[in-house]
Structure 1
Amino acid sequence: MLGGLRIRRALTSVASALAVITLTFVSSLPTATPSAAIDVTARTGQVGATAGAFTDTKHRKSSHVTTGTLKVSKRFAAYLAFPGIALNSGEAVTQSTLYVTVKGVSHASKGSLSVRPVLSGWSGAKVTYKSRPQVGPVIGTAKLKKNGVVAISLSPSASSYLAAGSGLRITRVGTKYTAKIIARSAHIDYTIGAASALTEPQARPAPAPAVNNSTLAGHPVFAHYFPPYPISLDNVNGTGDYYATQYLLPSGENGKFASVGGLLRDRPLPRSPLSGDFQYTDMKTEVSQAKQAGINGFAVDILSFNTADRNWQLTVKLLRAAEADGQFKVMLQPDMTALGSVSTSSFAAAIASLAGYGSTYRDSNGAVVISPFYTEAKTPSWYADMLKVLKSNYNVNAVMLPLFLDASNMSSYASISIGFGNWGIRDPQAAATWTNWAAKAHSLGKLWMEPVAVQDVRPNQKLYTEAVNTDTLAATWNRAISQKADLALMTTWNDYSESTSFAPSADHGWAFLDLNEYFVNRFQRGSTSVGTEKLMIVHRIQHTSTPVTYSGTMSRTGLTGPSNKVQIVTLLKQDATVTVTIAGSTYSYTAQAGLFTKSYDLQPGYFTATASRSGATVLTVTTKDAASFDTTSQQDLSYHAVVAGR
């Protein structure tokens, strides 16, 4: 079984025109699937320094290369070169300690030694303060003594640097006094073990901020990515994979969700098995899909900082896939419903390990943007402390863009934030009456990230919100456009447990993304022009009153009452005649150019729509999922869709 119980998400319902936030639970979030273990025999070793040098801030062009005495202080920085540690497949440096000999240290009780890896491949050649190499995050610290050997335990994140033969830079921090170390006696004792034994995220060197490469122009649109539901969980054919045999069936996972008709109602578009690293390949596919739909990046829900956890591993592969693309960005959204007990130091270490990817989203100053889901789970001072640790220990500049469940908290977080967002609402009437949070954020001099959604149906929580076909999508986008939001967050790309997904899926194909792209163009460019003409049918496959064989049925939340309609959506360059067939009856109307919708009462069976001009068919589409009002063993109140014209 892939499941486990975790706090997941909050549903924003609206009563008496006020948003009421309720924390809910979702079960069965996939965890790491065990893979074949690689046998690694632990062994120890030692490498000695091959060269040494120090730089001087007061003599910026002077070089001091020596195997003798090196100076370290706020003014002086020492550099030590070491050979790389050879590793086999599946191995890592699991423990390492740097030993340096100090002598004649004045005020030894003050300050400490701080060690960072050298990133530019320095190996002992001439080095000056002016030409000093770039360094990475702090990987070790230790108190000083007046004379003798100081042992500096290096963090697990040092593994990749030691294997690559990166040099080390040593400084004395926390005091103005200088210490002296002997280069020739410096050495590293290490233990090699299985790479899987490392549980601390491995820090990558953060690239120098490059505004043109690391920020997005205009009004960026992100889609919230939920790692538990990638394209494939097990790289099995779609008819026999975990989605098909477990998540979608009422009897799946040993009947764990039988009382609510099964965990999910929809899934990603199935595919055939892939060779190689299928998870990475799937991530590249999802990046490509999002880009095709005009989306600028994913906002990834970070559920764990444990590197052995599959959700963390998929997050890293997503960053790699986006980095390979070169333009697509990934905003970091640590999920504070799952990470509420994490310390500021662990939080900072994890963010630092992700900050080195070129795909990590940054602001116009090159600072990493951190957008915690349910930000208000921690105090502003907690995040302020975390940002300080991130800077002091890892040399990573970061800014906050809180994603609230209750945006009325924004004033309290203004001093540490560049902007704000809210998880949002899911029904059209609420969208029309909800607070103008963009105006409030702008009054504080901050950016606003508006949530946009297509629907919200949660069988396992026994709740649904009435979206009225595509009306919620239109209403939430109209808020973003009319209230002049600075960026938008699509909630969500792929959370199938809440039926909020925009991603290409078995139930709605590309229809939601195709319609969403029209609104993206309006939001970013003010354009209402139509590129490729499209014809869509959006419908439920059951009536909201269809009898169900079990008691755990869904209750409606939100302001909008139940709706049972078949909606025809057209995106046209010119007017066209649309003919619709529903339950043997035929209807006809003129669809105007641009975006146009028309609704009819939901009936059992399949539906067909055809757009024509001057008697010639332009587009035609037939639903693939039949509607039925018969008693069902699986209640499904989500909207299905088909599209022609892709």
Structure 2
Amino acid sequence: MKSIFPFLVLFILMGTNAFAMQNWKQTKMLWAHYVAWGFDHVNGFDNIANAPEGIANPFTDRSLDHKNLQDDAGTWEGIHSQIRTAIQFGFDGFCVDAFRQFTSVLSRFYREAEGTPFKIALCVDGNLDHDSLFEELKTFITTYRDHPNACLIDNKLVIFVYTLAIPHETWKSVLAKLDEINLKPYILAKPIHESRNWTQTQPIEKTLEIFDGIYDFGCNGFTLQEQFIRYENTRTAIKNARPDAILVAGVTPGYIGHNSGFYRPFLNSKTTRDNWNAAIKTNAEWVCITTWNDYGEHTQFEPSSANRTALLKINQAYADIWRETATPPRPPQPIFTYRDELLLGTDFTIDAVIPSFTTQPATLTLILKDLDGKTIKEFPPLELDGKETYAHTWRINAVDTFNWLDAFTVHATLTDHLNPQKPINRQLPPAVIRYAKLENLRPVRVAWDEISYVTPQLKL
């Protein structure tokens, strides 16, 4: 009897190759922009009090995936954990931002993604000259085009382009040379800097004369209506210049760029929700969140000290709407976002995203209390039917409420309509009132199922 082992190996290889060769243009893919440089969370966050040189610009958050993530001790194990976390929350791939040495920098990502369906793509940053760009891309595409975790469209390796520093003429020449040796990639490029609105279609059309699709980084500082216009202009440009192009919509929680001075308000979770609503309305083919892990610009989505998994859960709720995914069996699980530092004289706002749920309708109530347990404000109950993902914002006037308080606590209660005698209570982390300077501008995010509800007891 002949051994079936050779046929089994052939079947596995064919299956793996077929998966790699799938045309991902037809699939709604959710990407995360990943910055490939390191963040010293141990000294920049954990031990910042012992590092006076960094106190003027410390990290305001840190990764929970690995203590030494992206330091020498944690790089390899950290990437492994991050990929699996991303898969858990519905992501299809990382587009990895790199300035040079593309093949070397991305090697650990491809290696750690092996054995999973997760995709890895290069995101070109920086300013390379013509010859350097050609050699870098030639080596990279030759190395990874046939990798099982590569993403291909029309048998071309997908590459994102963030940088605007490389002239279009340079790109045009480099892509022509790559085409001559059958290595031309499928490029999704950013047409305009993220700090500008896309009021004209001409720059987008010019980008599409060279590249295959549009990549929106998402860190724009515009209203929801202006984001709709932004994508309407992009759709018009695609129709005029390249009808088969795809749009990668950008989603960001906000932006604080210490080095660039650019600022995008978080507005609790509203910026994230507005970005998603714009992407959903325009029916973007792909979406890329900004970013998975850029702690220097406060755009991190990954599990972190301030976010836990709350931001990922908000993102997943809106990704499910975009993908038209049916709601799985689950109870109501609000996700709260608010500033835990409040400057004296400013209003306090807190919002909740309540993903759709399948159990009985419920009521959500919020109460603010001082540190002695005295009620400051009880908001009217919010009725939830669970039929669709819902967001609500509560606001309280600071001048009338917070004079001379040092801090206050937020208490939330969920009451199932079938069991009104058994409400579920949660206490959120307290908010502190500052009199002069805020330590950070980013909000905290708290998921309902990550709040402990066990009453602490002290036993002597």
Q: How would you bin the TM-score normalised by the shorter chain? A: 0.7 to 0.9
* Partner residue in 2 for 1:535: 334
405, 417, 431: which one aligns with 1:627: 431
367, 374, 386: which one aligns with 1:581: 367
Given that 2:102 and 2:122 are in contact with CA atoms closer than 8 Å, whether structure 1 keeps it comes out as no
Does residue 268 of the first structure (1) align with residue 77 of the second (2)?
no
Show the 5 A alignment for 1:243-282.
Answer: 243-247=41-45, 255=53, 257-258=54-55, 261-269=56-64, 271=66, 278-282=74-78
SS at match of 2:120: strand
Given that 2:187 and 2:211 are in contact with CA atoms closer than 8 Å, whether structure 1 keeps it comes out as yes
* Partner residue in 2 for 1:414: 208
* Partner residue in 1 for 2:152: 362
The letter of the residue matching 1:355 is R
After superposition, what is the alpha-carbon deviation per residue over 1:498-519, rounded to whole angstroms, capped at 9, x for unaligned? 1111111110111111111111
Task: State the distance in 2 between where 1:616 and 1:291 align.
Answer: 39
- Cα deviation, residue 334, structure 1: 0.9
After superposition, what is the alpha-carbon deviation per residue over 1:99-135, rounded to whole angstroms, capped at 9, x for unaligned? xxxxxxxxxxxxxxxxxxxxxxxxxxxxxxxxxxxxx
The letter of the residue matching 2:119 is K
* Partner residue in 2 for 1:380: 168
What is the number of equivalent residue pairs in this alignment? 399
Q: Residues 475 and 254 from structure 1, CA distance in 2 versus in 1: closer, same or farther, beyond 3 angstroms?
A: same
455, 465, 473: which one aligns with 2:264: 465
Does residue 226 of the first structure (1) align with residue 25 of the second (2)?
no
Given that 1:480 and 1:488 are in contact with CA atoms closer than 8 Å, whether structure 2 keeps it comes out as yes
- Cα deviation, residue 479, structure 1: 0.8
After superposition, what is the alpha-carbon deviation per residue over 1:417-459, rounded to whole angstroms, capped at 9, x for unaligned? 2211222345562554542244224313121111111122234
Does residue 567 of the first structure (1) align with residue 351 of the second (2)?
yes
351, 369, 394: which one aligns with 1:599: 394
83, 88, 95: which one aligns with 1:299: 95
- Cα deviation, residue 216, structure 1: 6.4
SS at match of 1:371: strand
Task: State the distance in 1 between where 2:147 and 2:422 align.
Answer: 49
Given that 2:338 and 2:443 are in contact with CA atoms closer than 8 Å, whether structure 1 keeps it comes out as yes
Q: Show structure 2 runs of 5+ residues with no match.
A: 1-15, 370-374, 451-460
Q: Residues 566 and 287 from structure 1, CA distance in 2 versus in 1: closer, same or farther, beyond 3 angstroms?
A: same
After superposition, what is the alpha-carbon deviation per residue over 1:204-255, rounded to whole angstroms, capped at 9, x for unaligned? xxx97866546365211111011224xxx6xxxxxxxx41323566667651
* Partner residue in 2 for 1:636: 440
SS at match of 1:520: helix
Task: State the distance in 1 between where 2:133 and 2:67 align.
Answer: 42
Task: State the distance in 2 between where 1:340 and 1:622 align.
Answer: 55
* Partner residue in 1 for 2:108: 317
Q: Residues 296 and 581 from structure 1, CA distance in 2 versus in 1: closer, same or farther, beyond 3 angstroms?
A: same
SS at match of 1:245: helix
Does residue 486 of the first structure (1) align with residue 285 of the second (2)?
yes
* Partner residue in 2 for 1:146: none
Q: Residues 417 and 217 from structure 1, CA distance in 2 versus in 1: closer, same or farther, beyond 3 angstroms?
A: same
SS at match of 2:152: coil
Given that 1:299 and 1:331 are in contact with CA atoms closer than 8 Å, whether structure 2 keeps it comes out as yes
117, 121, 128: which one aligns with 1:331: 121
Task: State the distance in 1 between where 2:177 and 2:301 align.
Answer: 36
Does residue 496 of the first structure (1) align with residue 295 of the second (2)?
yes
Given that 1:533 and 1:645 are in contact with CA atoms closer than 8 Å, whether structure 2 keeps it comes out as no
The letter of the residue matching 2:168 is P
Task: State the distance in 1 between where 2:152 and 2:167 align.
Answer: 23
The letter of the residue matching 1:298 is F
* Partner residue in 2 for 1:450: 249
After superposition, what is the alpha-carbon deviation per residue over 1:137-196, rounded to whole angstroms, capped at 9, x for unaligned? xxxxxxxxxxxxxxxxxxxxxxxxxxxxxxxxxxxxxxxxxxxxxxxxxxxxxxxxxxxx
Task: State the distance in 2 between where 1:415 and 1:211 align.
Answer: 28
After superposition, what is the alpha-carbon deviation per residue over 1:598-646, rounded to whole angstroms, capped at 9, x for unaligned? 313376333221211132557544323x321224776211010111237
Q: Show structure 1 runs of 5+ residues with no match.
A: 1-206, 234-241, 548-561
- Cα deviation, residue 371, structure 1: 1.5
Given that 1:420 and 1:447 are in contact with CA atoms closer than 8 Å, whether structure 2 keeps it comes out as yes
SS at match of 2:334: strand
Show the 5 A alignment for 1:7-26.
Answer: none
The letter of the residue matching 1:587 is F
Given that 1:438 and 1:485 are in contact with CA atoms closer than 8 Å, whether structure 2 keeps it comes out as no
After superposition, what is the alpha-carbon deviation per residue over 1:308-349, rounded to whole angstroms, capped at 9, x for unaligned? xxxx54x32112222331x111221111x3546863333323
Return the TM-score normalized by structure 1: 0.56
Given that 2:138 and 2:183 are in contact with CA atoms closer than 8 Å, whether structure 1 keeps it comes out as no
The letter of the residue matching 1:359 is N
- Cα deviation, residue 301, structure 1: 0.6
Tell me which protein shows more strand as a share of its residues: 1
- Cα deviation, residue 262, structure 1: 1.9
Does residue 512 of the first structure (1) align with residue 311 of the second (2)?
yes
Task: State the distance in 1 between where 2:34 and 2:254 align.
Answer: 16
Given that 2:339 and 2:442 are in contact with CA atoms closer than 8 Å, whether structure 1 keeps it comes out as yes
Q: Residues 606 and 278 from structure 1, CA distance in 2 versus in 1: closer, same or farther, beyond 3 angstroms?
A: same
SS at match of 1:378: coil
Given that 1:541 and 1:637 are in contact with CA atoms closer than 8 Å, whether structure 2 keeps it comes out as no
Return the TM-score normalized by structure 2: 0.76
Q: Residues 427 and 608 from structure 1, CA distance in 2 versus in 1: closer, same or farther, beyond 3 angstroms?
A: farther
Over the aligned positions, Cα root-mean-square deviation in angstroms equals: 3.3
Task: State the distance in 1 between where 2:144 and 2:109 align.
Answer: 11
Tell me which protein shows more helix as a share of its residues: 2
* Partner residue in 2 for 1:215: 24
